Amino acid sequence: MKKLSSDHSAISEIVGALMLVLIVVVAASSFAVFISQQQKIEQDNQLIKSQQQGESLLISSIATYSTDKIDWASLNITVSSMHQGTSEIDRISINDHVLRSFHVTMFNVTTNSNVNVSMDYTKKMIIPSLQVIHIFIQMSDFFESGVKIRTDVPITLDLTTAYSNDFTKVFYSPTPIIVVNVESQWNSSALNYTPFLILDGSQSDQPGDTTIIRWNWTIDCNGINYPIQEGRKVRFDPPVQGAYNITLLVENANGMIGISKTTFHR
């Protein structure tokens, strides 16, 4: 009886040891799986971080259109992918107004042709690696109704991607500066010196990376509108005494304008 009890005790010890070994093995295996999962999560996070840091979009240019020279009717924006890998656009805003829909034109390398796609906020806009796209926007495309963007204010475009990167570009309108120089020339008929004006807009300022391409001068006096003149500097011969209202409209290569006015008394 003593021997049987001793045998049972020995077997229990063996079973207990085996159970302990099994528990240790299971725990070690579970820990190894946990470590492997954590390593994979860390690798995935590092990959996402690397892709986030490597993402590069260039908002390169804007083309504008207005019917009244007061508010923009439409905008056409060019965006280039500057990195290897696709970008997913989650949000587009202009002057803090978020777009609901828009149209995209991109080049299809398979068909060797441009493809036009209508987009809205429910779809993910994908920009392929090293691709150039054109985003066409009308003022009715915003979530808000009645959005107006004046032609004489900066346009701030902001793109937010799925990697939470924000790419922003500000397009500035030009600032016209009018300088009026009074000169004179001998009038052989009146036997005196007659004054004339040199209207100078060459000091007009254009912030950013574009240039002024047009200087447009309009002049009126006592209800009479004189012919429009074009150029950085123009000459005007005031024919009568009075107050001459001089308006300079300058336009940059993006189609954005600036207007300034002054009055000259003869």
- Give the three-state DSSP class for 180: strand
Domain residue ranges of the chain, discontinuous segments joined by +:
57-171, 179-265
Cβ burial of 21 (10 Å; 0-12, 13-18, 19+) is exposed
CA distance 75 to 181: 38
- Give the pLDDT confidence score for residue 4 in this predicted structure: 47
| Sequence-ordered list of residues with C-beta below 8 angstroms from that of 20, at least 6 positions apart, any chain | none
List the chain residues with pLDDT less than 50: 4
CA distance 85 to 126: 10
CA distance 73 to 140: 9
- Give the pLDDT confidence score for residue 214 in this predicted structure: 96
CA distance 172 to 143: 24
CATH of 57-171, one of 2.60.40, 3.30.2000, 1.20.1530, 2.40.128: 2.60.40
Where helices occur in the chain by DSSP H, the ranges are 2-54
Task: Say which CATH topology domain 179-265 has.
Answer: Immunoglobulin-like (2.60.40)
Tell me, yes or no, if the two domains 57-171 and 179-265 fold the same way.
yes
CA distance 252 to 206: 8
Angle made by CA atoms 171, 172, 178, in degrees to the nearest 5: 155
Over the stretch 12-43, which tens digit does the pLDDT of each residue have? 777 666 677 767 777 667 777 777 777 677 76
CA distance 167 to 127: 14
Exposure class string for 150-173: b at 16+ Cβ within 10 A, else e: ebbeebebbbbbbbebebebebbb
- Give the pLDDT confidence score for residue 75 in this predicted structure: 96
